[in-house]
Structure 1
Amino acid sequence: MRRLLHLTGQHRTPSVDRMFGLLLAFNAGAVNAGGLLVVHMYTSHMSGFASQLADGLVLGSMPLLLGALGALLAFVVGAATTAVIVHWARRHRLRSAFAMPLMLEAALLLVFGLLGAITLTWPTLFAVPLTVLLLSYIMGLQNGLSSSMSNGKMRTTHMTGHITDLGLELGRLAFRNPRETPAALRVQANRSALRLYASLLLMFIAGGLVGAAGFKYVGFVWVVPLASLLLALSLPPFRRDLRRSVYLQTLLGSMARRFGRSPHAPVPPP
């Protein structure tokens, strides 16, 4: 259990990174499968929306075009948000650079779990309900997080690349080298990578099962426990930063005073 408390901290080992990636893959699978039952489209990978954008242009269908454009933009903005948070945290020497995007994702999942039914009725400029844009933004945020955390080696909201890599490693594993092949030229599978790709795929599928069943039998509120888990994992490094960083204390104190002030309250003199 102590290892879980370090998933989003500054000092992590490869095994901790893998554990974090598996958890995020499970979360993405759950959101993706559950989202299909709610909005009738997958929101964790953008290949379908890119194709939908092309279809909308060819068919002259403005709803298709706007819906795809909205989801793509939301996903991109989500990934960009992660980049801004991570680099801002590193600039100020904070150890919770990866915890902060996860905290934001957890908070948005809580909003989705508690208000998702309401946002389904909120129209947007992109011909899709706000729920679609929210889920796409959350998945962009998460994919940016897993990519930043692994230096681009691990993405958790879609499995196409990992399934391709899994197939390549299986091909190398099945390949039979002639006996006279020098050791430097022998084709060998990376068994560690093979286990990682297979594990990510299995966790994504397991998350999909949980997400589909949760939406079917429980409803939107099923994401609240998962969001609470993500929040619990991201809070320890943030609390440590809050204790040690004067800059963060000053920033949060300033924000609290700004948002806590009543609009009719007198402004103190300089």
Structure 2
Amino acid sequence: MRMPMTPRRMPQPRPTHLPFWWTDIHRSPSLNLRLGLCLCFIAGAANAGGFLAIGQYTSHVTGMVSSIADHLVLGQLTLVLASLAALGAFVAGAMTTSLMVNWSRRRHLRSAYARPLLLEAGLLLVFGVFGASLQAWPWAQASLFTPLTVLLLCYLMGLQNAVITKISHAEIRTTHVTGLVTDIGIELGKLVYPNRSPIPGRVRVNRVKLRMHLLLVTAFLLGGLMGALGFKYWGYATTLPLVALLLLLVAGPLLHDLRHGHWAPDAQTEWQASELLRPDPPPHTDTAPSEDRGR
């Protein structure tokens, strides 16, 4: 026998013009774009800064797979294993986001999309502190810091890219621009296509999609400029503004769940949430023949 319970009130949307609610569970296309622009900026800064720090880009999965093939042909098994580890770290980051988001959504938490970004902020801070502390020991930086940093940044890029992918249903990507530039080229081709007559099947450009992808590429470029200049002049302290931006983006949903005691719901809470989603049973209709029928 099921115990009666009081359904937990579903969270209401918050003002989307406030940046600390941009990772809320309630989504809209404009909100997805705002969050995507911020994450593109962070990814560009982390990529450019990581290249200056360790001499390698960490979100270029296509290059990782290509390097695996190249190193296999050249017989460089050590580099093959290194590329496989970097690729595995990217996949592990995406898996982590999927696990965290699905776990949170099952429990109706507002911070479902904020939690992976909070983890990213913490690990990005670890990268900055660890790198700054090892600058006095070049031997440790070459033998220990560089391999760990490659794995850490690849993990962060997979983590972040999976967040916006799940939020936007794969319409927005933030850690690489190959697909974005491809879509820009497709829409520009539609824009210049010579429609000579107003026929029903005429080619039409999706100006909203074109504008969105242009903005995302621009945000990635600006982030790369900021990251490169920051690491050139201020070193690992450049990670602090990126961490601050991530914390700003996740503050609203996280504080909401903490304030209402929903930070780590137990199995009973998950069962209650599933009961709220259970559809009502269909009305019972007795189709058996009545004893009086036919008399």
Q: Same fold (TM over 0.5)?
A: yes
Alpha-carbon distance in structure 2 between the residues aligned to 1:160 and 1:250: 42
Judge conservation of contact 1:31–1:44 (CA < 8 Å) in 2: no
Alpha-carbon distance in structure 1 between the residues aligned to 2:19 and 2:263: 27
Instruction: Specify the SS of the correspondent of 2:24.
Output: coil
Q: Does 1:233 align with 2:249?
A: yes
Cross-structure match for 1:149:
167
Cross-structure match for 1:25:
40
Corresponding letter in the other structure for 1:115: F
Q: CA deviation at 1:152?
A: 1.0
Cross-structure match for 2:230:
214
Q: Does 1:248 align with 2:246?
A: no
Alpha-carbon distance in structure 1 between the residues aligned to 2:217 and 2:147: 29
Corresponding letter in the other structure for 1:163: V
Cross-structure match for 1:223:
239
Alpha-carbon distance in structure 1 between the residues aligned to 2:237 and 2:81: 29
Judge conservation of contact 1:103–1:235 (CA < 8 Å) in 2: no
Instruction: Specify the SS of the correspondent of 2:264.
Output: helix
1:42-57 to structure 2, matched below 5 A, reads 42-57=57-72
Q: CA deviation at 1:95?
A: 1.1
Alpha-carbon distance in structure 2 between the residues aligned to 1:105 and 1:31: 11
Instruction: Specify the SS of the correspondent of 1:95.
Output: coil
Name the Cα RMSD after superposition.
Answer: 1.9
Q: CA deviation at 1:235?
A: 2.0
Alpha-carbon distance in structure 1 between the residues aligned to 2:79 and 2:117: 31
* Aligned equivalent of 2:207, options 188, 191, 199: 191
Cross-structure match for 1:90:
105
Q: Does 1:139 align with 2:157?
A: yes
Q: For this pair of structures, how many residues does the alignment match? A: 246
Looking at secondary structure, tell me which structure has more helix per residue. Answer: 1
Corresponding letter in the other structure for 2:207: R
1:140-162 Cα offsets, whole Å, 9 max, x none, are 10011110111111110000001
Alpha-carbon distance in structure 1 between the residues aligned to 2:206 and 2:18: 26
Corresponding letter in the other structure for 1:158: H
Structure 2 gaps, min length 5: 1-15, 135-139, 268-295
Identity value in percent:
48
Q: CA deviation at 1:121?
A: 4.4
Corresponding letter in the other structure for 2:61: M
Alpha-carbon distance in structure 2 between the residues aligned to 1:129 and 1:108: 15
Instruction: Specify the SS of the correspondent of 1:134.
Output: helix
What TM-score do the two structures reach when normalised by structure 1?
0.86
Q: CA deviation at 1:243?
A: 2.2
Q: CA deviation at 1:230?
A: 0.5
Alpha-carbon distance in structure 2 between the residues aligned to 1:75 and 1:246: 29
Cross-structure match for 1:10:
25
Judge conservation of contact 1:6–1:12 (CA < 8 Å) in 2: no
Judge conservation of contact 1:3–1:16 (CA < 8 Å) in 2: no
Alpha-carbon distance in structure 1 between the residues aligned to 2:17 and 2:191: 35
Query: More displaced, 55-64 or 101-110?
Result: 55-64
1:48-92 Cα offsets, whole Å, 9 max, x none, are 111111111111102320221111000000000000000000111
Alpha-carbon distance in structure 1 between the residues aligned to 2:85 and 2:266: 36
Change (3 A) 1:247 1:235: closer
Large movers: runs of 4+ above 6 Å = none
Instruction: Specify the SS of the correspondent of 1:43.
Output: coil
Judge conservation of contact 2:164–2:172 (CA < 8 Å) in 1: yes
Judge conservation of contact 2:161–2:175 (CA < 8 Å) in 1: yes
Cross-structure match for 2:196:
178
Alpha-carbon distance in structure 2 between the residues aligned to 1:63 and 1:200: 36
1:166-198 Cα offsets, whole Å, 9 max, x none, are 00000000111112x42x301010000000010
Q: CA deviation at 1:216?
A: 0.7
Judge conservation of contact 1:55–1:64 (CA < 8 Å) in 2: no
* Aligned equivalent of 1:105, options 100, 120, 128: 120
Q: CA deviation at 1:245?
A: 4.0
Cross-structure match for 2:95:
80
Alpha-carbon distance in structure 1 between the residues aligned to 2:193 and 2:233: 46
